[in-house]
Amino acid sequence: MDASRSDVLILGGGVIGLACAYYLLKSGATVRVLEQGTPGCGSSHGNCGTITPSHAAPLAMPGMLGVALRSMLRADAPLYLNPRFDGPRLRWLFGFARHCNWRDFEHAARARSAILQRSRQLLAGLVREEQFDCEFGEEGELYVYRTAKAFDADERHHAQVLDRLGVAVQRLRGDEVEAREPALKPGVTGGLFHPGDARLRPDRYAAELAQRVTAMGGVIESGARIDMFGTQGGRIDHVRTTRGVFRADRVVMALGAWSPLIAGQLGLRLPMQPGKGYSLTYTRPALAPRHALVLREAAVCVTTWESGFRLGSTMEFSGYAEGLNRTRLDALRRGAAQGLHVPEGPELKEEWWGWRPMSVDEVPLIGPSSRYSNLTLATAHGMLGVSMSAATGELVASMLHGRTPSLDPTPYAPARFGV
């Protein structure tokens, strides 16, 4: 047999690609993963590591476009749109604007909730069964509010959506929040507690997945940047990379924010943009939060592990502009200082940025391409790649093996965009 051939070739070695590899190997396929850097080096590395069935509601809702446009004037706004002209980003923005209505909001919330809940269930089992050393904890996640205005808005647009979807959410008074979380400064108005949420250390999770994939006989090619595709008769025949040429019966594209750039080589226009996120990682402070927190007015996420402490979040649409934006990092520090007694750990370990793969309707693209008979997409998970990873892997494996999936795959079908 040709050594460069496998049943399935997975493009991308982040948590989505690795989870697809894991479930495909479990179902008996031979698998090779092509990763341009090292496994888990993209968005899988520095995100907040929360597993969030609570994040079912999309950003797109009536009024959100106005928020995005006003953000152009404030470089430290939680949602920031860089005013520089950029054709693809402008096209994406028009598409996003079309989804800012309640009908699409409900559709996206249901689709996201189904895969988030399935993935949460699978992840707990996966971590235990495979004994992953990734600081998995099930303490839930707490949204913290310092103004009645922000609490009331989220009670309407967030908590009531979760009620309808059957996702547990508890409304708490300010004194109840402060009693539950001594790390918070006084002055809390209220809180929303999501008992079903969990957290893990995402870089450890990616590393453990990669190790398991290799132990199961999968091959991971690091430093394999994709140069070109060979296509024949409506299928992908081979993939040429900096590590050589690879062939497979099936190809899975799990390239995160790089997906639209690489898919462009195949003539596919994926309606996606990179949403840049930032994080600061510290050694653990003396007074560390007991739960994963979202400080809502500042839009700062706080995750605590035994091994450290991370401040993260913000959403910046600046195309494929690389590098750290100091204004955004300072906004994270400032937001944490407003809410926490000890907002930073003793030692700063890492300042990080990464691109989240944002689809125009905020529902991932998972399923067969309508243009290439042996291509399956598994991308556009936005801020929820870690949260959705296990269910995405399971769904891709069941589709490629012709088994009935445990989730209805219809809402995620790439065919909705003609790709």
Taking only the tens place, the pLDDT of each residue in 9-33 is 999 999 999 999 999 999 999 999 9
Helix, strand, coil tally for the chain in percent (to 5): 40, 30, 35
d(CA 155, CA 128): 34
Say what the pLDDT of residue 85 is: 78
Instruction: Give 261-265's long-range contacts (Cβ < 8 A, gap of 24+).
Output: 261/320, 262/11, 262/226, 263/419, 265/226, 265/228, 265/229
Q: Which of 215-224, 273-282, 307-316 has the lowest mean pLDDT?
A: 307-316
362-396 pLDDT, tens digit per residue, is: 999 999 999 999 999 999 999 999 999 999 999 99
Q: What is the pTM of this model?
A: 0.96
63 burial (CB, 10 Å; 0-12 / 13-18 / 19+) is exposed
In this prediction, residue 73 has a pLDDT band, given cuts at 50, 70 and 90, of low
Q: Which residues pair with 56 in a beta bridge?
A: none
Place of tokens 């453990």: 208
Is the model's pLDDT at 74 over the cut of 90? no
d(CA 183, CA 199): 18
How is 23-52 classified by DSSP, letter by letter? HHHHTT--EEEEESSSTT-SHHHHS--EE-
Place of tokens 């309606």: 271
Encoded tokens for 19: 């989870």
Task: Report in angstroms the alpha-carbon separations of 101 from 14, 59, 78, 92, 95.
Answer: 32, 11, 21, 16, 12
Q: DSSP assignment, residue 343?
A: -
Residue among 386, 103, 147 nearest 256 (CA): 386
Q: Where are the alpha helices (DSSP H) in 348-404?
A: 385-400
**Helix (H) or strand (E) segment spanning residue 241:** strand 235-241
Report the DSSP pairing between strands 79-81 and 170-173. Answer: unpaired
Say what the pLDDT of residue 1 is: 43
Is the model's pLDDT at 245 over the cut of 80? yes
Encoded tokens for 272: 């996606």
Residue 184 phi, psi dihedral angles, 5° rounding: -85, 145
Q: Average model confidence (pLDDT) for the chain?
A: 94
Residue 177 phi, psi dihedral angles, 5° rounding: -65, -45
88-98 pLDDT, tens digit per residue, is: 888 998 899 99
Contact in structure between 54 and 197 (CB atoms under 8 Å):
yes
Q: Which domains does the chain have, with CATH numbers?
A: 5-417 (3.50.50.60)
